[in-house]
Chain A
Amino acid sequence: EVQLVESGGVVVQPGGSLRLSCAASGFTFDDYAMHWVRQAPGKGLEWVSLIPWDGSYIYYADSVKGRFTISRDNSKNSLYLQMNSLGAEDTAFYYCAASSSWTYYFDSWGQGTLVTVSS
């Protein structure tokens, strides 16, 4: 069974930093591209970032470019999101999601971790 489990969501002050993790199991992790998608409470989904299986390229939404860094460790079946210069607009549930290589949809999702940016 495919499982994605996010962790690391906490309350952080504006301007602060945070690192989210996503532990994957039940599938061959390095056959999949991985994404972060976020959802502000009561709002819609927003794609955040993508990293392919080998990390050969990385893409970010304009809203996080220059502040967030996605990475992965295939030896640990783990995905990460380093978040810097956080603002209130970054308050959201952060989901990790998996895409089979050369597909353009998110076929598995984690349950999400809540990041709250507040003083």
Chain B
Amino acid sequence: QSALTQPRSVSGSPGQSVTISCTGTSSDVGGYNYVSWYQQHPGKAPKLMVYDVSKRPSGVPDRFSGSKSGNTASLTISGLQAEDEADYYCCSYTGHYTSYVFGTGTKVTVL
């Protein structure tokens, strides 16, 4: 199972919006509405930001939103804030045996 493809980096100024893409195949992203997104600050554990493509856990700001079209999922951060600077990983369920595949990761820089 190959990793999902994400841009290596994206950047934006405070208050702007950035979108991170996550491209897979019909066997993962396109085949299931089970895409999740994780934020990881340096030296820290990942944190769930979006699940089931577009749902937010309690406590996650509504600046974070997810969507999917075909084999590509996206995470949009609106009203970018300094604390949003981190690495972001998408993840898709792939069916029983291979179970899950992560994206390559995207570094978000707040200019």
> Number of contacts between A and B (CB, 8 Å)?
66
CB distance from B21 to the nearest CB of A (A): 15
CB distance from B81 to the nearest CB of A (A): 22
Q: Mark B1-42, 1 if CB is under 8 A from A, else 0.
A: 101000000000000000000000000000010101010100
CB distance from A104 to the nearest CB of B (A): 4
Interface residues on B, range: 20 to 34
Q: Mark B89-106, 1 if CB is under 8 A from A, else 0.
A: 101010011111111110
Dominant secondary structure of chain A at its interface with chain B: loop
Q: A59-B96, A106-B91 given. 9 additional CB < 8 A pairs? A: A44-B89, A47-B91, A47-B100, A50-B99, A57-B96, A104-B34, A106-B38, A109-B47, A112-B45
